[in-house]
Amino acid sequence: MTSYLSELDFEPARTLNILASARRLKAERGRDRNDLAGRSVALYFEKPSVRTRVSFTVGIQELGGRVVELSSATTKVGRGEDPEDFAAVLGRMVHLLVARVFSQEVLGTFARRAGVPVINALSDERHPCQALADAQTILERKGRIEGTVFAFVGEGNNVAASTGLLLAALGAEVRVASPVGFGLPKERLAEARGLAGSVTQLQDPKEAVDGADAVYTDTWISMGQEAESEERVRIFRDFKVSPELMAGAREDALVMHCLPAVRGQEIEAELMYADNSAIWDQAENRLHAQKALILDLMTG
Ligand code: CP
Ligand code: NVA
């Protein structure tokens, strides 16, 4: 049973097939399909979501499937039911489990026990569905990923890791600029070795964006880090994506953000709706990329 728990679970050729399928699905939007007729998907959320919830719900319905939504508040996992037992039960009732959780390890437990494919809809460690949508966006807007220079400014968090590693797997030069102690975990840098492209951890945002084709940022305060908000705002204050920082990138460089954004914190609001902003395409492409992923896992 194949699951998608990490952006590196699939070889580049399979990822490129999914991206090609996502492009076709986007072009045929509006025509409902029946690939998932008679099949049900559980969406499980331990953390809040707008984009992931809506894109999976709408996408599964457009493919002809049914959705049941669960959260920590409506299940018993937080009240003592073992995640293994939870997954074993769901696997008897649904054909796919999409889960947003804190622990990447729990996703592994789900995948081992459910007996149906599991999709990582964000964990503390990774956000591979965001990475697929980001790769689709860069392909659309730049025509290629291989050889492009991709700069991520901010924490080496789940989004930096997944989008960075996926783009590097597809041949991009990835640079991540973070304050000391907030860079990519060493395990992620180890995973980057041997990929077609490269991932380099830097501390200077200007060095990272120099000549970049795309400049990406994410919140300084991820879900679960709210207690550290004040300290983080101080630590990250020189890691804002601003027009001044963008001046060091290529003139046609894309501005990217996975959303939700805290305007004036990690990104200046004026950049979000500028012509070179790819942010809204990224959000839309969650729908198409995830539909393509589901088709790969369930009908491929
Ligand atoms: N980008 C993203 O995953 O957004 P949500 O947290 O709203 O799902
Ligand atoms: N890094 C953010 C991404 C939200 C989509 C978080 O984990 O909260």
What's the rounded Cα separation, in Å, for the pair 171 and 177? 19
Q: What pLDDT score does 1 carry?
A: 73
pLDDT at 53: 98
**Phi-psi region for residue 31, left (φ > 0), alpha (ψ -120 to 50) or beta?**
beta
Residue 40 in contact with residue 67, Cβ under 8 Å? yes
Q: Is 157 in the pocket of ligand 2 (CB under 6 A)?
A: yes
Query: What count of other Cβ atoms lies within 10 Å of the Cβ of residue 273?
Result: 10
Q: Which atom of ligand 2 is nearest to the CA of 47?
A: 8
pLDDT of residue 257: 98
Q: Residue 197: which residues within 8 A CB-CB, separation 6 or more?
A: 146, 167, 168, 169, 170, 171, 172, 173, 174
pLDDT at 204: 98
Single pTM value for the model = 0.98
Select from 157, 173, 165, 161 the least CA-distant residue to 239.
Answer: 157
Instruction: List, in sequence order, every beta strand (DSSP E) within 148-280.
Output: 149-153, 173-177, 198-202, 214-217, 254-257
- Which pLDDT score is estimated for 118? 98
Cβ of 258 less than 6 Å from ligand 1: yes
How many Cα atoms within 13 Å fall on the side-chain side of residue 274? 18
Query: What is d(CA 272, CA 257) in angstroms, rounded to the nearest whole number?
Result: 8
* Residue of 44, 49, 69, 100 to mutate, ligand 1, most atoms within 8 A of C-beta: 49
Closest CA to 281 of 172, 115, 138, 176: 138
- Counting from 1 in the atom list of ligand 2, the atom nearest the Cα of 259 is 5
pLDDT at 36: 98
Residues catalogued as catalytic: 100, 127, 130, 218, 258, 286
pLDDT of res. 79: 76
pLDDT of residue 193: 97
* Other Cβ atoms closer than 10 A to 16: 15
Q: State the pLDDT at residue 72.
A: 86
| Spacing, Cα 106 to ligand 1 middle (Å) | 19
- Going by the DSSP 8-state scheme, the letter that residue 194 receives in this structure is T
pLDDT digits (tens, 9 = 90+) for 278-300: 999 999 999 999 999 999 999 97
Ligand 2: nearest atom to the Cα of 258: 5
Residue nearest to atom 6 of ligand 1 (CA): 49
- Residues in the chain predicted with pLDDT less than 50, given as ranges, are none
pLDDT at 151: 99
The pLDDT, as a whole number, for residue 77 is 83
**Other C-beta atoms lying within 10 Å of the C-beta of residue 1:** 11
